[in-house]
Amino acid sequence: MGSLSLLPVAGARTEATTQEEQASRVSSRCLEPWTPGALDIHHISTGRGNVAFLVCPDRTTILIDAGALHAASDWGSDEKYRIQPLPDASLRPGQWIARYIARHMPAGRKPAIDYFILTHLHPDHMGGVDLLSHRKIMSRFGGYELTGVMDVHEEIPIRKILDRGYPDYSYPLPLVDPHQRNYRAFIASFLRNGGIVERFAAGSSNQIRLLHSGHGAHPDFIVQNLCANGRVWSGRGEDAEETFPSLDRLEKADYPTENKCSVAMRLAFGSFRYFSGGDMDHDTAYGRLPWGNIEARVARASGPVDVAMANHHGYVNACGPEWVAALRPRAFIISAWDSAHPTIPALDNMLSRQLYDQPRDVFSTALKPENIIATKRLHEIQSGSGHVIVRVAPGGDDFKIAITSNRDESDRIIAQFGPYHTTEKSLNS
Ligand SMILES: [Zn+2]
């Protein structure tokens, strides 16, 4: 790997941006284990793709994405633009993720991931294959190469998978690039071995449920599926509406992209709200394809949240003004692996007091040193390196954010923010 060191920006807060919340620096403490009734959302910093591991109030575990870009060769992107693998390149990103999850599996249950939710079929979200054939490492379950979520499943069993493509993986065109073929071989093997796979159902509020509490034990915990393949929750019951034109009205070159087809969800726990929308964006081809602003549509369906994952890693075509103004989160979290994560316009929007006039904090799992030079306002964000853990107190009335070391497996706390108080929001709007 290159010799560039990642700037340890954690706590890059300046006097000018200090809000009422105090960041307490702790150098020797480690993250306390999850406790029953709390909700933990771990944004794991591998420098190689998105991954969020959730421990729900009743011990239900959810994994949203498990990306893994190889050190070389895949996906037409040059290594020099990428963030170095974290903690290092001695293991594959998916192996580091599995080890992280094993450390944070809640006590009192069998280690397993109840739900794996794939936002869309790109390597930085599901795991990419190594196109240099001499390094292929195959699963012991057979038929597919180990990477990303497949590496996780090799160590910790996944019970159910939800994605945008099952069962035919054919919208808007057959999903058959080498990475997608590998993932589909994994799905086929997973099904043969008794796993359950479903298409992510836009509009549903009971496809993802708590599984380890008695019926009705946590009525205030609801995962609302907002969107998949351009179908967006209408806000009425489980109803969803098509927002993409039918394909027969589009030129092939204008078909919805893989990113635009991302799934999005809003998790509610008491008055706490969390938004996650994969890589959806707002690119309308200069107004020619107005339906392309899918992220604005989805953000309006969501309404305000406390914590939002930045769409598309904060890239130039995502986190637009309408998305920011509709979600108005107290905290943004960017999952970064490239020198353009985040870009200047996306960060400007996230920081804009014109779009909403409340305080907000921004956290990135990692930053490329070159980006810190190019994107000057990165000095205004709270953290630029480390795992970002959102810990919501039982009942959902407040939450804290802890940054832990991504250099090793110590879970040492680098900085803490909050508590932030959640306020009652109407569920829709
Ligand atoms: Zn991505």
Lowest average pLDDT, out of 12-26, 287-301, 404-418, goes to: 12-26
* Cα-only R_g, the chain: 20
Q: Please indicate whether residue 52 or residue 23 has the higher confidence score (pLDDT).
A: 52
pLDDT at 363 over 80: yes
pLDDT higher than threshold 90 for residue 24: no
Of the pLDDT bands very low, low, confident and very high (cuts 50, 70, 90), residue 38 is very high
> What pLDDT shows up at residue 131?
82
Beta bridge partners of 199: 163
Report CA(363)–ligand 1 centroid distance (Å): 17
Q: How far is the CA of 36 from the centre of ligand 1 (A)?
A: 32
Q: How distant, in Å, are the alpha carbons of 199, 265, 356, 403 from that of 378?
A: 37, 27, 19, 17
- Cα-to-centroid distance, 313 and ligand 1 (Å): 6
Q: Helix axis angle, 178-192 relative to 148-155, nearest 10°?
A: 30
SS3 188: helix
Q: What is the mean pLDDT of residues 265-290?
A: 98
Residue 116 is which amino acid? Answer: F
CB 361 within 8 A of CB 396: no
Q: How far is the CA of 9 from the centre of ligand 1 (A)?
A: 22
Task: Tell me the pLDDT band of 75, cut-offs 50, 70 and 90.
Answer: low
How many angstroms separate the alpha carbon of residue 141 from the centre of ligand 1?
A: 27
Q: How many angstroms does the Cα of residue 280 sit away from the middle of ligand 1?
A: 9
How many whole angstroms from 272 Cα to the centroid of ligand 1? 25
* pLDDT recorded at residue 425: 74
Q: Output the pLDDT for position 215.
A: 67
Q: How far is the CA of 157 from the centre of ligand 1 (A)?
A: 24
Say if residue 426's pLDDT is above 70: no
Domain spans in the chain, listed from the N-terminal domain onward: 15-421
Centre of ligand 1 to C-alpha 164, Å, is: 15
Q: Which pLDDT belongs to residue 77?
A: 63
Q: How many percent of the chain have pLDDT more than 90?
A: 86
Q: Which of 326, 384, 378 is nearest to 348 (CA)?
A: 378
| pLDDT mean over 11-38 | 62
Instruction: State the CATH class of domain 15-421.
Output: alpha beta
| Cα 46 to averaged position of ligand 1 atoms, centre (Å) | 13
Q: Is the pLDDT of residue 1 over 50?
A: no
Region 318-329: mean pLDDT is 98
12 pLDDT more than 60: no
Please provide the average confidence, as pLDDT, over all residues in the chain. 92
The rounded Å distance from CA 20 to ligand 1 centre is 33
Contact 246, 220 (CB under 8 A): no
The residue behind tokens 């379950």 is 141
Nearby residues of 284 by Cβ (< 8 Å), 6 or more positions away: 290, 291, 292, 293
Ligand 1 centre and the CA of 50: distance in Å? Answer: 7
Residue 64 identity: I
Q: How far is CA 294 from the centre of its chain?
A: 17
